[in-house]
Chain A
Amino acid sequence: MKTLIKKKAQKAAEKKPAQCCAKTSKVVAGCHD
């Protein structure tokens, strides 16, 4: 098994939901599809 989680990134990154609409570029409705 080879992990894809980088622990340093885990500490540094601000975690955000995977929600399409949780992006700063959420101008329009990617959520519908």
Chain B
Amino acid sequence: MTDFSKHNIFSKISGSDNYFIVNLLTGNADILTAPEGRQVLDYIGGGNINPELLDNLTVKGYVVPADEEKRLYREKYLDFIDARDKDEVQLFFVPNYSCNFACTYCYQDEYDNPGRNLNREIIDAFFRYVSIEFAGRKKYITLFGGEPLLNSPKQRELIGYFLEKAGEASLDICLVTNGFFLEEYVDILQTARIREVQVTLDGTAEVHDKRRFLKGGGQTFEKIVRGIDACLVKGIPLNLRMVADRENINDLPGLARFAINRGWTENPNFKTQIGRNYELHHCQLAPDKLFSRISLYESIFSLTREHPYILDFYKPAYSISKFLAENGILPDPLFDGCPATKTEWAFDYTGHIFSCTATVGKADESLGTFYPEVIHNRNLIDAWESRDVTAIPGCSGCNLQLACGGGCGSVAKNRTGEICSTDCRPVKELLELGFAAYFEK
């Protein structure tokens, strides 16, 4: 007995008569003509289908025996777990939650900034913990905040010491910074194993400075740009992030043009990402300006059609569409989209351990301490570690599960109170756009 696979993602390509069909379990992806697509729709609804088309669908695993599909699912799940166990772990470290910026959309603005300050003893304890708990695993460290690159002599001394300890442990470092004091830190960064520095610009000068300004007021764009230049000149890889909402998205063409004219996009050490401004921990004052997950990409799609040079600056993923277009192959099935406590951990200067960057700094999310003594809340850690699409009840019947991976555990927990609950991604709608962008030329 054969069935239309439970893992087929089938829909019409945006703005086209054609359809697409994707199956992450069997690794196939096809474009169907309009008549073929209509026949598949009939078939799904219990109607007849051209035998030749049915043969093609069967050969490619879009129509499968149910037991064969279950066997393949189990096999791919075990492959996924095996690969993840060998994957590199990203260890975030927060030296402080304080920041010299007062961004309009900061999700940490309600964080307490506990009185204890970072010192060498805490840094030593962190590296001791890492060497014991993550012995034998590939790993690297990302400095996060607050703002890690504050320009006080004490902070420079501590960041310098941290980088020295990372070097002794042969660990690469990434940094997430607002970029304001990047110029002042380039000399220190040059002495370390810097894998990447992430800096945020929310548009060109006028737009950016209205969103990301200094506490007490003060423009930041020009100084950040000089910091980016300084990194690229010294060969330090730079990942430029734009945090987007309805107030600044129309400046994406301007920012892209700025980066192109400055020569950044020609530099192999330069890459970009666009993040959505969204409500992680608390509501924002003007929620109407926020994009949904799909409306952000609809806007980007329209803008790239109107200003194709944006693609030299930033190529949207549209779920797995870009990967398929660039590699001619589908990625492996994603049984777990949440890296927390699997390939990601976060630590802060108070000695606490957290699951990831979304939970770091929230007292009720602490999973234990690495300082002054090592304590693990095993029940909480177990709950995070158990989360994947096989453990989330809402994922079990979903045909999108192997592209979505259940989404973010922290967002799901904020929404439902349960770690093992869904944070759904609009995979079908993203693929409708992505196939139009990359395959319907």
Q: Which of B144, B280, B329 contacts A32 (CB 8 A)?
A: B280
Chain B binding surface, main DSSP class = mixed
Surface stretch bound by A, among B157-165, B208-216, B405-413: B405-413
- Mark out the residues of chain B between 10 and 43 whose CB falls within 8 Å of any chain A CB in the assembled complex: 21, 24, 27-32, 36
What are 10 A-to-B residue pairs whose CB atoms are below 8 Å?
A: A8-B328, A17-B332, A18-B334, A19-B337, A20-B337, A27-B175, A29-B358, A30-B275, A31-B356, A33-B275
Query: Contact string, B404-423, partner A, CB cutoff 8 A, digits 1/0?
Result: 01001011000000000000
Q: Which of B30, B90, B239 contacts A4 (CB 8 A)?
A: B30
Query: Contact string, A1-33, partner B, CB cutoff 8 A, digits 1/0?
Result: 111111011100101111111100111111111
Query: Which residues of chain A are near B280, meaning CB under 8 Å?
Result: 32
* Residue from B198, B273, B356 having most chain A Cβ neighbours under 10 A: B273
- Cβ of B189 within 8 Å of any chain A Cβ, yes or no, is no
If A17-B331, A29-B357, A31-B337 touch, whether A5 touches B142 (CB-CB below 8 Å) is no
- Let me know if B334 and A19 touch, CB within 8 A: yes
A8 to B328, CA, bound (A): 8
- Cβ of B236 within 8 Å of any chain A Cβ, yes or no, is no
Query: Which residues of chain B are near A29, meaning CB under 8 Å?
Result: 356-358
Query: Which residues of chain A are near B32, meaning CB under 8 Å?
Result: 1-2
Q: Which residues of A contact B (CB under 8 A)?
A: 1-6, 8-10, 13, 15-22, 25-33
A16 to B327, CA, bound (A): 11
Chain A residue nearest in CB terms to B62 = A1
- Let me know if B174 and A19 touch, CB within 8 A: no
Query: Which residues of chain A are near B53, meaning CB under 8 Å?
Result: 1
- Cβ of B278 within 8 Å of any chain A Cβ, yes or no, is yes
- Cβ of B196 within 8 Å of any chain A Cβ, yes or no, is yes
Shortest distance in angstroms between A26's beta carbon and chain B's nearest beta carbon?
6
- Let me know if B31 and A2 touch, CB within 8 A: yes
Total cross-chain contacts (CB, 8 A) = 115
A31 to B317, CA, bound (A): 13
- Cβ of B202 within 8 Å of any chain A Cβ, yes or no, is no
- Cβ of B309 within 8 Å of any chain A Cβ, yes or no, is no
A3 to B31, CA, bound (A): 6
- Mark out the residues of chain B between 426 and 441 whose CB falls within 8 Å of any chain A CB in the assembled complex: 439
Shortest distance in angstroms between B136's beta carbon and chain A's nearest beta carbon?
20
Query: Which residues of chain B are near A9, meaning CB under 8 Å?
Result: 327-329
- Let me know if B334 and A32 touch, CB within 8 A: no
3 nearest CB pairs, A to B: A6-B328, A9-B328, A18-B331
Query: Contact string, B334-374, partner A, CB cutoff 8 A, digits 1/0?
Result: 10111100011000000000001110000000000000000
- Let me know if A27 and B176 touch, CB within 8 A: yes
Shortest distance in angstroms between B49's beta carbon and chain A's nearest beta carbon?
12
Query: Which residues of chain A are near B330, meaning CB under 8 Å?
Result: 5
A10 to B51, CA, bound (A): 28
Query: Which residues of chain B are near A2, meaning CB under 8 Å?
Result: 30-32
- Let me know if A4 and B439 touch, CB within 8 A: yes
A3 to B30, CA, bound (A): 4
If A19-B405, A27-B142, A31-B339 touch, whether A1 touches B36 (CB-CB below 8 Å) is yes
A2 to B293, CA, bound (A): 29
Query: Which residues of chain B are near A3, meaning CB under 8 Å?
Result: 28-30, 60
Query: Which residues of chain B are near A21, meaning CB under 8 Å?
Result: 90, 339, 343-344
A3 to B337, CA, bound (A): 27
A22 to B358, CA, bound (A): 17
Q: Which of B29, B196, B403, B408 contacts A25 (CB 8 A)?
A: B196
Chain B residue nearest in CB terms to A16 = B331
Shortest distance in angstroms between B111's beta carbon and chain A's nearest beta carbon?
15
- Let me know if B239 and A27 touch, CB within 8 A: yes
